[in-house]
Chains A and B, each alone.
Chain A
């Protein structure tokens, strides 16, 4: 384990925590442009988080310890996820801590804490949100696993870093199996990050919310951490997508420090494109009725299975 690898790991975690709100700001900016609106500042998410950290926290009466620790658990889980995604380099000391299946488990842990905390207070909206979150989550998870299986089968490993290293060593080409799974992954990304068409991150209508409904009782630093964790989750998902489907440019073992000089700007460019694409999807879609979300997740699963079949039967 060299210093370079440790430095890469530290850089990656730092960059993820530091720039996740920027990524959200970028998506919001693109969305505003696409709607012919004047865009808010790129830094608006940071200002929101800073504002929340300066406020006094208000806790509901009878809130249990679970309610208070959840923001830290969720944020921690998202930082750990960020640590094992090979977004800049593939030689990360922490990758041995968790493979891609454990990554899905980490995301599920965060979801479980969120849902339990939402129900902890006992308000109707928290429970409604938690229930919907679990409905979407239990359908999105198998689709996400299936996506990872395809990539794992191609590279004969479940370690995300090894997958990225293997795929980036292949020549730049379109793999039919990965193309199918990329569609599946995009749908899962939309559902898991509470984006349109599954949820609306900008809504003020408490009856339609999924993710936001679970946050309604949080305030100040707790809310700031959860908002930040949500931004981090979106950032992580984008990085997982990049690692699985467009890993070219990532710093692999043999390249040394020069690899980072390529991989960091490459990651920035890919994220910018991903954010713009996300904004485009959100602008042209309307929100689905809640009970259409399972159909969307079934479609995602179907695409992932198609990718798997294409790989197994055709070897493509």
Chain B
């Protein structure tokens, strides 16, 4: 049955515009997912809820967001891995946390290492989590590659530099990578469980800290869901300031990444220059908004911070300066033979492969996947801003660098306009009590779409909150990007994706 017939059965969800929910049974679950796949839609998130036993899948399709809700009275629900490869790890994570399992083949644990026993599930009421579990041996089956001269190189989770923990198992012959298998979950800290113990305002603080580099995106998504449930109308000035903060966060991350990419290619000059620019931006943001990293800027009902005209002018000046300097540095990167030799062709994900695997966000746009929520399903105030879409079809490290440069420029332009035309008025409104139910927040962070599914219970507490990071989609694609490349190019390719561990491991 075509997709629009599912949409006809759907109920509108509060929060993100054009988000709808359809309750399905096991047969409809697969059929609806198949119809989404047939129309070129993609899986955004999949999560399960232990109490009440439901599993949710959120799909992005041409017009909006479709959330399927399947009650799982039976032990296993039909897996979506064959339709959407990205589903595999989300299903395994859901099984670890709630015990709600899919019938897909891979039943290895994903987020569960040895911290809690196989039969226990942190999101079930029965697990109190007060007493530490006895440490068991952590056995995990990696896919073995056999052949003459093939050997394995285990890397991490403890690395030589200060980066987040992740394990990478390379099967190599000589320097050439035959297979890479990731194992994540080392940064698991029980965020979803913690949400249920917090009030709605504290929940916003936790949401902002799911992945520190996307604090604005997460807190905005959380507030969007909550404000939808409470039917609060946020003042226009607050919406514009939120967009300003989101673009500033994008610039901060792009500046940091561009420097780090130069450094990983052995070009320390790039790191020194971009670090300088990033620090200038951080200081300008602190001067204008009072926070360097904007962890507590977006709050339910509006903004916790405001700026005055002088601060806006200073920030706009700083942005102009950074835009100018970044342009010069782009010339240096583009004309440096050594740097281009490292960037070009490394870690290529062809557009066809990117579509099949569901590559999303910034890395997706560098592989010809046009989706940018700010352009495709704009939420206020992006509906009137018409942001620029930056797409590249190269799919290699050079393309991801190029998209970062282009987005940096576009963000500076957008932020300058936001600063110039900032509406007057209040920045915060009082929050009415939210209705019980599921609300969805969906925001295009710097890395890609960030979603929060917030379920409020009758008493006004958090029944379930599932934060979704675009890294869930993109980590598995990294395993493909490295194929055929050589081992010493992996750090550069990994950095060009710069995926979140914390936002993924929860």
List the interface of chain A (C-beta within 8 A of B): 31, 34-37, 124-125, 128, 196-197, 200, 202-208, 216, 283-292
- Cα A285 to Cα B162 with chains together (Å): 25
- Using CB atoms, name the residue of chain A closest to B486: A290
Chain A: minimal CB distance from B379 (Å): 39
Q: Mark B398-428, 1 if CB is under 8 A from A, else 0.
A: 0000000000000000000000000000000
Can you name 30 A-B pairs with beta carbons within 8 Å?
Answer: A35-B269, A35-B273, A36-B273, A37-B272, A124-B151, A124-B153, A124-B155, A202-B268, A203-B266, A204-B159, A204-B162, A205-B161, A206-B155, A207-B153, A207-B487, A208-B264, A208-B488, A283-B268, A285-B338, A286-B262, A286-B265, A286-B336, A286-B338, A287-B265, A287-B266, A287-B342, A288-B338, A289-B489, A290-B488, A291-B175
Q: How far is the CA of A128 from the CA of B154 in the complex (A)?
A: 12
B342 nearest in chain A by CB position: A286
- How far, in whole Å, are A286 and B265 apart by their CA atoms in the complex? 6
CB distance from B381 to the nearest CB of A (A): 38
User: Interface digits, B474-501 against A, CB 8 Å rule (1 contact, 0 not)?
Assistant: 0000000000001111110000000000
Q: How far is the CB of B4 from chain A (nearest CB, A)?
A: 49
**A133 CB, nearest partner CB in chain B, Å:** 13
Tell me whether A205 and B154 are in contact in the complex, defined as CB-CB below 8 angstroms, given that A216-B160, A289-B486 are known contacts.
no
Q: Please, how many angstroms separate the alpha-carbon atoms of A70 and B488 in the complex?
A: 26
Do A196 and B276 have beta carbons less than 8 Å apart?
no
The smallest C-beta distance from A35 to any residue of chain B, in angstroms, reads: 4
A residues less than 8 Å from B159 (CB atoms): 204, 206
- A286 adjacent to B339 (CB under 8 Å): yes
Given contacts A34-B269, A207-B155, 15 further A-B contacts (CB under 8 A): A35-B273, A37-B272, A125-B153, A203-B266, A204-B160, A207-B488, A207-B491, A208-B264, A216-B160, A285-B267, A286-B266, A287-B267, A289-B486, A289-B489, A291-B175
Contact, CB under 8 Å: B491 / A287: no
B353 to chain A, nearest CB (A): 23
The 8 A CB mask of B326-357 against A (1 = contact, 0 = none) is 00000000001011011000000000000000
Given contacts A124-B154, A289-B341, contact A283 B269 (CB under 8 A): yes
Which residue of chain A lies nearest to B151 when distances are taken between CB atoms in the complex? A124
Q: Which of B272, B336, B338, B486 contacts A291 (CB 8 A)?
A: B486
Nearest chain A CB to B309 CB, angstrom units: 33
B269 pairs with A287, CB closer than 8 A: no
Per the bound structure, the CA–CA distance linking A250 and B108 in Å amounts to: 70
Q: Are B266 and A200 in contact (CB under 8 A)?
A: yes
List the 3 closest pairs (A to B, CB-CB), nearest first. Answer: A287-B266, A204-B161, A286-B338
**A203 to chain B: which residues have CB within 8 Å?**
266
Complex CA–CA separation, A216 to B159 (angstroms) = 11
Instruction: Please give the distance in Å from B337's CB to the nearest CB on chain A.
Output: 8
Residues of A within 8 A of B154 (CB): 124
Q: Which residues of chain A are near B264, meaning CB under 8 Å?
A: 205, 208
A37-B272, A197-B266, A285-B266 known; A208 and B339 CB under 8 Å? no
Cβ-defined contact, A36 with B338, below 8 A: no
Determine if A286 and B341 form an interchain contact, defined as CB atoms under 8 angstroms apart.
yes
User: What is the bound-complex CA distance between A284 and B266, given in angstroms?
Assistant: 10
Instruction: Please determine whether B276 and A36 come into contact, CB atoms closer than 8 angstroms.
Output: yes
Tell me, in angstroms, the Cα distance from A204 to B162 when the chains sit together: 8
Q: Which residues of A contact B153 (CB under 8 A)?
A: 124-125, 128, 207
Give the most central of B159, B160, B175: most A CB within 10 Å: B160
Specify which chain B residues have a CB less than 8 angstroms from the CB of A36 in the assembled complex.
Answer: 272-273, 276
Q: Is the CB of A290 within 8 A of B266?
A: no
**A200 — which chain B residues lie within 8 A by C-beta?**
266
Q: Say yes or no: B342 contacts A289, CB within 8 Å.
A: yes
User: How far, in Å, is A215 (CB) from chain B's closest CB?
Assistant: 11
With both beta carbons as reference points, the residue of chain A lying nearest to B162 in the complex is identified as A204
- Please, how many angstroms separate the alpha-carbon atoms of A292 and B339 in the complex? 13
Closest to A198 in B: B266
CB distance from A231 to the nearest CB of B (A): 19
